[in-house]
Structure formats: C-alpha cells, structure tokens
Amino acid sequence: MLLELLRNRTSIRNFTGEDISMEIIKYILEAGRLSPSGGNEQPWIFGVIIDKDMIKKVSEIAYNQKWIESASFLIALCTCIVEKECGGRDIQKARFPKIAEVIENMNDEIYSCLNVEEHQTKIPGTHMALAALEHGIASTWVSYFDVDKMSMLLNLPKACIASEILAFGYPVNKKEPLKKKKLEEIVFYNVFKIEK
C-alpha cells in the first residue's frame, strides 16, 4: 500500500487551489509531529499558511515561483537551533571530528545556515507528504527561497529559520511520476563496490 502511494507520487506544480478542510490539515500535521529526531529534540516548528495573500508573498520570496500561488495551503518546515545545551552542535563536532574546532567557534548565524542540511525537517515533511497522499492531496517541496525574507514574513523567532516549504493541493491534471534510478544503481551490500 505504501509502495503503491510512493510509486504514484510526483511533485505537482499545478493545483486546483480548492479549500482543504482543517480536519485533513490537522491529520497531515499530526503525521509530522510523530517524526523521529536526533535525541528526540524535535528541533522544529510548523507554520500553516492558508491566507492567499501570504501564499502569494511566499511565492515571491521563493524567487517568483508562480506555481506556488495555486496551492491550497503551505506548511513551512522551520528548523530551530536547540538552545542551551546546543546538543546539535556537539553532535556535529562528534560527526566531523577533523573540523570540531571550526564547528565550536563558528558563529551562530553561519552554524544555523550549515545546520539546515542536518536539520531533520525533511523527516516530518516526508511524513506530511505521505499523509496528504492518503487523501489524494499532492505536494511539492520548496527550498529555493530567500531564508531571511521568509523569516521576516513568517515573523519567526531568532533561533528559527524556514528550511523548506511544502505546497499542498489537489492536482489539476494527472502527472506521470518521474523515472527513478534502479536499485542496482544505488544500493550496495556491506562494502561499496564499483561495478566495471
């Protein structure tokens, strides 16, 4: 069942824009809430954007990706730096011991930019995209946007940035999924081996 949903999933950039009930939106959010995270820190907040003017502004900040305007709603997946114990930074130091000192001395702003890759919002985002698919709702990820402008628009606290935005809606047309690499091309067992 899950594989069937995944086989038919594809990014949609042409939505009908029709309203989606709060009940379904909450179902999608709940799927995100249940995500795993390193140390169960859950270093995220989720911003639901339904207001059409706000959706338009997001599309402008996303370097005028006009298609975003057709979405019924957006969810901003926001990463928050974990305060105090800075568990995140200690974990990165342990993961990259050769540059531990650099990581230790990196100022918060730079650290926060680099941190985005690690920051685990893609997990709740994936849960959400799947929960939406169960209801026939398609989605597309957006990470091509000006992070500073997005923080201002969403009035985010200083320790948080929007890592990605997910745009949701019903597709106008059925779209064939894109071709994916075969398992043989991307899987190795035990030790990586280059096939001649």
Ligand X SMILES: Cc1cc2nc3c(=O)[nH]c(=O)nc-3n(C[C@H](O)[C@H](O)[C@H](O)COP(=O)(O)O)c2cc1C
Catalogue the E-assigned strands of the chain.
Answer: 44-49, 73-80, 138-142, 160-169
State whether residue 74 is helix, strand or coil: strand
| Listed ranges 47-55, 106-114, 140-148, 186-194: which one lies at the site for ligand X (CB under 6 A) | 140-148
Smallest gap from Cβ 81 to ligand X, in A, equals 20
Binding mask 5-34 for ligand X (x = CB under 6 A): -----xx-x---------------------
Write the binding mask 82 to 101 for ligand X: x where contact by CB under 6 A, - elsewhere.
--------------------
Q: Which of 42, 111, 143, 159 binds ligand X (CB under 6 A)?
A: 143
Residues 5 and 75: their CA atoms lie apart, in Å, by 21
C-beta neighbour count of 45 within 10 angstroms:
16
Asked if 80 and 43 touch (Cβ cutoff 8 Å), the reply is yes
Q: Which is nearer to ligand X, 29 or 162 (CB)?
A: 162
C-alpha angle with apex 96: 190 to 114, nearest 5 degrees? 110
Q: Which is nearer to ligand X, 13 or 119 (CB)?
A: 13
Q: Is residue 140 involved in binding ligand X (CB under 6 A)?
A: yes
# residues contacting ligand X (CB under 6 A)? 11
Q: Does 126 bind ligand X (CB under 6 A)?
A: no
169 neighbors 138 (Cβ within 8 angstroms): yes
Give, in order, the Cα–Cα distances in Å from 6 to each of 29, 127, 133: 19, 12, 9
Residues 42 to 81 in contact with ligand X, rule: CB under 6 A: 65
- In this chain, which stretch among 27-35, 108-116, 137-145, 184-192 interacts with ligand X, using CB under 6 A? 137-145
CA distance 38 to 46: 18
Among 128, 142, 153, 166, binds ligand X (CB under 6 A): 142
CB 93 within 8 Å of CB 104: yes
Residues 147-176 that bind ligand X (CB under 6 A): 164
Q: Which CB, 29 or 150, lies closer to ligand X?
A: 150
Is there a contact between 92 and 101 (Cβ–Cβ < 8 Å)?
no
Site residues for ligand X per CB under 6 A: 10-11, 13, 65, 140-144, 164, 178
